[in-house]
Amino acid sequence: MDNDISYRSWQILLLGGPSGVGKTSVSYRLAHHFGIGITEIDDFQVILERMTTSAEQPVLHYWQTHPEAGNQSAEEIVKHTIAVGQVMAPALEAVIVNHIESQTPIILEGDYILPMLTTAFSEKSIQSQIRTLFLYEDSEEQFRHNFLQREPENGPQEKRAQVSWLYGQWLKQEAERVGALTIPARPWDDLFDRILTALK
């Protein structure tokens, strides 16, 4: 069934969620299913950082200019992650409009997709062509397990798991507030099918 190009009523699928929740794996399967392209938003952050200075975009350069920031609390790291997403939002809006105007469907996937993008466009002709979906995981322990499976050489990554869990809870709350779709990442076995059902 994955080889069939399914009907879709949208041009843009924004797939958000915290690191380690399973976005990338399922997003590539969705892109294959619908026969459309995919772009990882993390690449945009790298591009924007390279093309700006720390004076121009201090939020994007924060980790480079504050190497000690890794010692901050998980809550502070989440605040900065949200700030990066807010700075990137105008660039993502431009990409979305470009794809809609050129009628080139795409999946945009990444940690920095914020629920605010759900209501960023006042024009109904644009808004109707966008679907925004956030994956979430309610168990902090599951994040530790996911990171350990994916990167066993780095150990359990306790703080990273805590950051992902906290950020995921914030994303879920904000997504529900603005009316974006939220879907639990588990059970993994039927996540792809649950996303297809939600998109219909």
Single-letter code of the amino acid located at 183: I
b/e map 80-102, b = 16+ CB within 10 Å? bbbebbebbbeebeeebeebbee
Q: What is the CATH number of the domain that holds 83?
A: 3.40.50.300
Residue 4: per-residue pLDDT: 45
Residue 183: per-residue pLDDT: 98
Q: Which structural domain, as residue segments, surrounds residue 82? A: 12-195
DSSP 117-137: GGG----HHHHTTEEEEEEE-
Residue 69: per-residue pLDDT: 86
User: 3 lies in a domain?
Assistant: no
Residue 200: per-residue pLDDT: 87
CA 59 from chain center: how many Å? Answer: 18
Q: In this structure, which long-range contacts are made by residues 53-58, counting pairs with CB atoms below 8 Å and at least 24 apart in sequence? A: 57/87
User: 28 lies in a domain?
Assistant: yes
Q: Looking at the 3D structure of the chain, how many domains does it have? A: 1
Residue 70: per-residue pLDDT: 84
User: 175 lies in a domain?
Assistant: yes
How confident is the prediction along the chain (200 residues), in pLDDT tens digits per residue? 444 446 899 999 999 999 999 999 999 999 999 999 999 999 999 999 999 999 999 999 999 999 898 899 999 999 999 999 999 999 999 999 999 999 999 999 999 999 999 999 999 989 999 999 999 999 999 999 999 999 999 887 999 999 999 999 999 999 999 999 999 999 999 999 999 999 98
Whole-number Å distance between alpha carbons of 151 and 157: 9
**Cβ-Cβ contacts under 8 Å for 182 (sequence gap 6 or more):** 133, 134, 135, 136, 172, 175, 176
User: 4 lies in a domain?
Assistant: no
The model carries a pTM of 0.92
Whole-number Å distance between alpha carbons of 17 and 85: 12
Residue 6: per-residue pLDDT: 65
User: 125 lies in a domain?
Assistant: yes
User: 67 lies in a domain?
Assistant: yes
Q: Mind spelling out the 3-state secondary structure of 176-200?
A: HHHCCEEEECCCHHHHHHHHHHHHC
User: 120 lies in a domain?
Assistant: yes
User: 200 lies in a domain?
Assistant: no
Whole-number Å distance between alpha carbons of 63 and 192: 34
CA 182 from chain center: how many Å? Answer: 12
Among 187, 138, 132, CA closest to 161: 138
Residue 155: per-residue pLDDT: 83
